[in-house]
Structure 1
Amino acid sequence: MTQPESTGYDYDVVISGASLAGSAAAILLARRGVRVALLERRADPDAYKVLCTHSITANAYPVLDELGLVPAIEKAGAVRNEARWYTRWGWIEPKAAPGGPELPYAYNIRRSTLDPMIRSRAGGTPGVDLLLGHQVTGLVREAGRTAGVRASTPQGEREFRARLVVGADGKDSAVAKYAGVPGQEYENGRFGYFAHFRDLPLRGGLGHTWFLDPDMAYAFPNEDGVTVIAVLPGKKWLPAFRDDLEGSFLAFARALPEAPPIDTAERITKITGTVNYPLHSRNPTAPGVALIGDAALTGDPLWGVGCGWALESAQWLAEAVAPAATGRGAPGDLGASLVAYARRHRRRLRGHQYLAVDFARARPFNPLERLMFSAAARDEAVARHMHLFGSRLISPPRFLNPVAVAKASAVNLKHRIRHRRAAASPPPAHLSRTEP
């Protein structure tokens, strides 16, 4: 049996960032016997991310389940993220097949509730040292690889040596910067603003997304009777929003088809957002370094995938590196484990990000998108298929497989035939009579 290496490491893994990705990774690694230092630059244990869709896609439900968070999330009043989507062909309303299983779901829950919950769970996990007020200021390098971090702490500068450093520190990741991890940045042709309202009814209690081709908006119900409304227009709208943010935001929301009644609801937050939110893609690993969550890949916020991908990437990393991170494996095992994590990360997310980058140009729907969205508005089976893709449970190739495209084409052909027949049919006799 291979014995643990004796290297004088303070921890097996140091994680920078104790939000969703970092806290989830700390829990999952520690349960596998890894000693973890979880560093968070903010000193407040109740700190949370503000700029977020506050929604977790269904692909991340298994991670929530493994973390043991589902009962706590439901007790906090989180809302299952069932939704309906507006298109110019009508509403897409995914429903379970008659006699079939319910549609996969996760939750809408505000980060002010979720972040402290998962951070507290991480801090109470044996094997995790949660260190608040600790900000990474540099990396420790040894033999051409990263072997720890330097951090400013309430007690002054400190060095933490570890076999693996994990960057869970967001889209502007300091770990990625200090490690020189290459990446790409893609312009986002939309900007976004959102606000929270109380007592704002939505049809069926469901989340609403508006595909206005190319502008976007959504309204998601959350816990405690609070609904978040976001508008994501193309940048041609930017001058109007800069001149009058509140007036432009409210006017945009009021003009939505089946608009939520914002004028009778109570707005409980200021209007917050950003005019520039580029998409980032970085290599998810470097020697002695792994990136998870937004540090590895920052998606377009209009799709609401960030929370789900943060949780999934934390799980993938823990599954890949835990045995090697303890130092009980053979030399080189950690490097091989990082290769496996990077391969899985790219395989699972690269196609989704490619489509998101293309759609972020704020262009009208392309022919394939028109085909799938219009068919989903007309057919329940296509709507369910689109729900699986929107939940990131199937890949782009599966979403656009030949059978699915043929099904959508058949749905639209039948629709056109019915429409033409209806237009060609004479009106009923009692409507065609002329009065004497």
Structure 2
Amino acid sequence: MTRSEDVGQGQQQYDVVISGASLAGCAAAILLARQGVRVALLERRTDPAAYKVLCTHSLTANAYPVLAELGLTEALDRTGAPHNDARWWTRWGWIEPKAAPGGPELPYGYNIRRSKLDPLIRDRAAGTPGVDLLLGHQVSGLIREDGRTQGVRVTTPDGERELRARLVVGADGKDSAVARHAGIAARQYENGRFGYLAQYRDLPLAGGSGQVWFLEPDMAYAFPNEDGVTVLAVLVRKQEHLAAFREDVEGSFLKFVRALPEAPPVDRAQRISKFIGTVNYPLQSRRPTAPGLALIGDAALTTDPLWGVGCGWALESARWLAEVVGPALAAGGPLDRPLAAYAWRHRRRLSPHQLLAADYAKARPFNPMERLVFAAAARDAALARHMHRFASRLISPARFLAPAVLARAAAVNLRHRRAAPSQGGAVRS
């Protein structure tokens, strides 16, 4: 815990104030404090064990380097959090990524419920020298002087107070109060699907790995988590399914799951949670910086939960910000150029993924290019590994759909079509 400087009645001075002590906020606090930066980490909730409920509970492989830098991988292993291996059902068969013979294991992240993960990383942040974790602190406004954000006004259990800082970071989710007070509007993309999930115990999955069903355009997934719990979710078109779910969530959920190809035996499992979901969950993007201010995690970009990448991007964006602003904050240097560098990196790394996700959120079937690659990945081990790297957000959309990849996919599908008649099977494009 750091000692802040008193600068006046009811005021304290920090280098950084971070609003939101969830994944992005805690990661940024830890990484900045390690560089000698004084951090106030604010959390509106008063319970240190509070956690996000609506989540895929999955950390994709792109998050692994950040988790390792935070020193959390061993702790996650001790919880029994499974690696987030998965196989994906398509109309061309299962895509089952496996390591190449004699090659390295596939990159992995973890499946872990937020009820375990959030308190774990928050405790790590609170124990980091240089971090003040301030529970029950809700941002009620920004302090702005000379066109820059210079701190925050907060509501606390003990009344109002002001916290001044050279940088204010919004890590407070898709409905970010920091962004709202700064006047940073969100660009929204309609999501044509809605989703519900529930947690089940004793729900066996084929091969012991996660399962994802691409039903074109409906979706479902089952991810094993720690303590023998599996998170089961359905993400379906509003136009076709919303009325039925509004009438009977449980019945509609179970009916959909039972009809899945090679469906998990949900009727023999024990449901241990409520059905959790949302009908309206648009994708949205915000400008990630302003003078004296930065946004990370869902505050900067909220994508389709269908892909389960939000936690990974929250951790990555925290790391990107800490890498560029940490040295300037520790040295007392100017922040405009580091903030511009963060904004450029955030847009370059995430905007192409967001555009693809926004297009698929229209709840449409696969387009011709997607059919080409998904069909080939169900038939070719190298392309299945390529799919795994993209689903883990370790490669960009440009690399995922590179000309050489498309050429290989076309060749794989052509060989399959030529071989299918002689094997007596139906030809599937």
TM range (shorter): over 0.9
Match of residue 218, structure 2, among 215, 218, 221: 215
Instruction: Please report how far the alpha carbon of residue 412 of structure 1 lies from its aligned counterpart in structure 2 after TM superposition.
Output: 0.2
TM-superposition CA deviations, 1:187-211 (whole Å, max 9, x none): 1000000000001100111000000
Matches within 5 A, 1:405-420: 405-420=406-421
What amino acid maps onto 2:266 in structure 1? I
Match of residue 266, structure 2, among 258, 262, 267: 262
1:111 aligns with 2:114: yes
Matches within 5 A, 1:29-428: 29-235=32-238, 236-329=240-333, 333-423=334-424
TM-superposition CA deviations, 1:385-425 (whole Å, max 9, x none): 0100000000000000010000000000000110133459x
Instruction: Please report how far the alpha carbon of residue 327 of structure 1 lies from its aligned counterpart in structure 2 after TM superposition.
Output: 4.9
What amino acid maps onto 2:116 in structure 1? T
3-state DSSP of counterpart to 1:270? coil
Give the gaps of 5 or more residues in structure 2: 1-5
Query: Distance in 2 between the 1:249 and 1:27 partners?
Result: 40
Match of residue 28, structure 1, among 28, 31, 39: 31
Query: Distance in 1 between the 2:122 and 2:286 partners?
Result: 25
Query: Distance in 2 between the 1:115 and 1:301 partners?
Result: 18
Instruction: Please report how far the alpha carbon of residue 156 of structure 1 lies from its aligned counterpart in structure 2 after TM superposition.
Output: 0.5
Instruction: Please report how far the alpha carbon of residue 324 of structure 1 lies from its aligned counterpart in structure 2 after TM superposition.
Output: 1.5
Query: Distance in 1 between the 2:405 and 2:392 partners?
Result: 17
Over 3 Å counting, the alpha-carbon distance change for 1:287 and 1:344 in structure 2 is: same
3-state DSSP of counterpart to 2:101? coil
Contact between 2:35 and 2:330, CA under 8 Å: does it hold in 1? no
TM-superposition CA deviations, 1:28-83 (whole Å, max 9, x none): 00001110000000000000000000000000100000000001111011010000
Query: Distance in 1 between the 2:182 and 2:326 partners?
Result: 21
Instruction: Give the greater-gyration-radius structure (CA).
Output: 1
Instruction: Please report how far the alpha carbon of residue 325 of structure 1 lies from its aligned counterpart in structure 2 after TM superposition.
Output: 1.8
TM-superposition CA deviations, 1:356-410 (whole Å, max 9, x none): 0000000010000000000000000000001000000000000000100000000
3-state DSSP of counterpart to 1:191? strand
TM-superposition CA deviations, 1:144-191 (whole Å, max 9, x none): 110000000111000000000000000000000101113301110000
Give the gaps of 5 or more residues in structure 1: 1-5, 425-436
Over 3 Å counting, the alpha-carbon distance change for 1:154 and 1:327 in structure 2 is: farther
Instruction: Please report how far the alpha carbon of residue 7 of structure 1 lies from its aligned counterpart in structure 2 after TM superposition.
Output: 8.9
Query: Distance in 2 between the 1:43 and 1:77 partners?
Result: 28
Query: Distance in 2 between the 1:7 and 1:142 partners?
Result: 16
TM-superposition CA deviations, 1:308-356 (whole Å, max 9, x none): 0000000000001001123522xxx301000000000011101100000
Query: Distance in 1 between the 2:331 and 2:183 partners?
Result: 25
3-state DSSP of counterpart to 2:193? coil
What amino acid maps onto 2:243 in structure 1? P
Query: Distance in 2 between the 1:48 and 1:387 partners?
Result: 28
* Percentage of pairs with the same residue: 74
2:15 alignment counterpart? 12
3-state DSSP of counterpart to 2:191? coil
What amino acid maps onto 2:128 in structure 1? T
Query: Distance in 1 between the 2:139 and 2:78 partners?
Result: 35
Query: Distance in 1 between the 2:286 and 2:330 partners?
Result: 26
Query: Distance in 1 between the 2:223 and 2:47 partners?
Result: 27
3-state DSSP of counterpart to 1:63? helix
What amino acid maps onto 2:194 in structure 1? F
3-state DSSP of counterpart to 1:388? helix
Query: Distance in 2 between the 1:146 and 1:326 partners?
Result: 18
Query: Distance in 2 between the 1:213 and 1:44 partners?
Result: 41
TM-superposition CA deviations, 1:231-250 (whole Å, max 9, x none): 00111210011111110001
Query: Distance in 2 between the 1:409 and 1:150 partners?
Result: 58
What amino acid maps onto 1:285 in structure 2? T
Q: Taking structure 1 as the reference length, what is the TM-score of the superposition?
A: 0.94
How many aligned positions are there?
A: 416
What amino acid maps onto 2:156 in structure 1? T
Q: Taking structure 2 as the reference length, what is the TM-score of the superposition?
A: 0.95
3-state DSSP of counterpart to 2:378? helix
